[in-house]
Amino acid sequence: MSFWRLFCRGKKEKYSSSSNEGLLPSASLVSPGGYPQFSKDELPQAKPSGFKPVPPSPLHQKGGGYSTKGELSGFESDLSIVNDANAYDFLWTIKSFSLLSGVSESRQTSGRFNAKSLTWKLVCYPNGNLIEDQISVYLMLSKAADHPSEAVFKVSYELFLFDQNNGSTFTRRGENLAQVFDEIGFRNFKDLSEFRSSSKGYLVKDCCMFGVKILQVVPIKTITECLHPVEKITHEFSWKIENFSSLDKKISHEKHFTAGQYLWSILLHPDPTGDKKSHELGKNFSIYLYYYGSVRDESAAKVSAEFSLSVIDQIGRKHKKLNYTEVFKSTHPGWGKKDFMLKEDLEDPSLGFLINDTLIIEAKVAVLALVK
């Protein structure tokens, strides 16, 4: 059974030809311009089996703009607010911040900079990554030229937000494992209303500044994992898709939901193109489950979960179903199946999957453990 894994960071689409495990298309197919955005109030809640999930707590996040090291392409950053610019590996200034935050799904990246013999970028979500009314910033490993393509690094770093009133900084320190194109940072960095408050000095004359210091980078030769089991609670979520035939077949479609404190989504490809040389071109219906992390616990970036995905038979209850237990990473979050079922079976009215142009997809998911 062919089983596919998503690597959603970056713009490239990759596929494995040497094994059954491969890479799904990048998430840019799902939501051009950045990750999908929604409020906790608007996000559908999966129904737990015999348990009421704890309501998610608010998230806080952080942000970014133009470099003060290297070429600025005509822009200048005011270093007078920085006590010692040499203390940072990279300074990033945003001018006219409101122009970025006016785009609801905005995702901005800085230019590349070098530190610890590797190449990096900063990534900014002016309205927050997945949660609105927040600001997020991440450090992305852009290139590791002298290392194998699948190399893993243990990265210790600090991210800074400058108070332009007095030159002080709001600082968060992190330590994460990262591969090329991974984004590591803080979803809970800073509330957007606090960021915009005139009394804080973070946003002055529609301008803000962020900094980063790479403290240590250690190549990991032996990958280790430690499981922290949690209480198993199964949550159920149904996605009813009406007017299915009118969906744009050239792109993927996604529906987000929460299961307890965890963020998930169902993603489907109505007409996956696959390899243009394949005789299976356009014959299969693809479906995947994505993981986007926890709304409260930043350490839950990687989890072991048991899940099932089903296309519901609305006549005879002979559902098309897959069941798996897999490890999900919020940076490479998706598991599913490219050839989940044949399109001709999906569209066959006698099989009951597509009735009155309505399709029903059901997800059941239970987090078994946090993976460190």
The verdict on 105 and 239 lying in the same domain is no
121 located within any domain: yes
Q: Which two tokens stand for residue 76?
A: 């200048």
Q: What angle do CA 347, 349, 353 make, to 5 degrees?
A: 65
**pLDDT at site 299:** 65
Phi–psi pair at 15, nearest 5 degrees: -140, 145
The number of domains in the chain is: 2
| Among 142, 137, 138, CA closest to 118 | 142
Helix %, strand %, coil % of the chain (to 5): 10, 45, 45
| Among 276, 279, 182, 175, CA closest to 217 | 175
Q: What's the N-to-C CA distance of the chain in angstroms?
A: 28
The verdict on 23 and 78 lying in the same domain is no
The verdict on 251 and 141 lying in the same domain is no
H helix runs in the chain, sequence order: 97-101, 192-196, 343-346
**pLDDT at site 56:** 36
- For 262-272, write each residue's pLDDT tens digit: 889 999 987 76
Q: Residue 352: which domain range? A: 3-53+233-371
225 located within any domain: no
Q: What angle do CA 24, 27, 28 make, to 5 degrees?
A: 125
Contact of 134 with 207, CB cutoff 8 Å: no
226 located within any domain: no
**pLDDT at site 333:** 67
Domain boundary among 166, 196, 220: 220
Residues of the chain below pLDDT 70: 1-45, 47-78, 104, 272-282, 297-299, 331-333
The verdict on 239 and 215 lying in the same domain is no
The verdict on 79 and 146 lying in the same domain is yes
The verdict on 262 and 208 lying in the same domain is no
The verdict on 201 and 166 lying in the same domain is yes
180 located within any domain: yes
Domain boundary among 155, 186, 220: 220
How many angstroms separate the CA atoms of 354 and 315, rounded? 10
The verdict on 361 and 302 lying in the same domain is yes
Q: Which two tokens stand for residue 203?
A: 């946003």
Domain boundary among 186, 220, 254: 220
The verdict on 203 and 285 lying in the same domain is no
Task: Supply the DSSP symbol for 346.
Answer: H
70 located within any domain: yes
- For 163-186, write each residue's pLDDT tens digit: 999 889 999 999 988 999 999 998
The verdict on 71 and 214 lying in the same domain is yes
How many residues does the structure list for the chain?
Answer: 372
Question: Global pTM?
Answer: 0.59
| Among 187, 195, 172, CA closest to 65 | 195
| Residues 38/41/44/47 CA torsion (nearest 10 deg) | 140
58 located within any domain: no
**pLDDT at site 25:** 33
**pLDDT at site 47:** 60
197 located within any domain: yes
Task: Supply the DSSP symbol for 73.
Answer: T
Q: Which two tokens stand for residue 68?
A: 């003060």
> Within its chain, how far is the Cα of 196 from the centroid?
25
How many angstroms separate the CA atoms of 182 and 173, rounded? 17
The verdict on 330 and 238 lying in the same domain is yes
Phi–psi pair at 360, nearest 5 degrees: -120, 125
**pLDDT at site 112:** 96
Kindly give, in sequence order, each residue whose CB lies less than 8 Å from that of residue 55, ignoring residues fewer than 6 positions away: none
The verdict on 210 and 184 lying in the same domain is yes
Kindly give, in sequence order, each residue whose CB lies less than 8 Å from that of residue 73, ignoring residues fewer than 6 positions away: none
**pLDDT at site 282:** 63
Given the DSSP bridges, would you call strands 21-24 and 3-6 parallel, antiparallel or unpaired? Answer: parallel
Residue 332's CATH number: 2.60.210.10
Phi–psi pair at 241, nearest 5 degrees: -110, 105
118 located within any domain: yes
Beta bridge partners of 310: 321, 362
How many angstroms separate the CA atoms of 93 and 299, rounded? 29
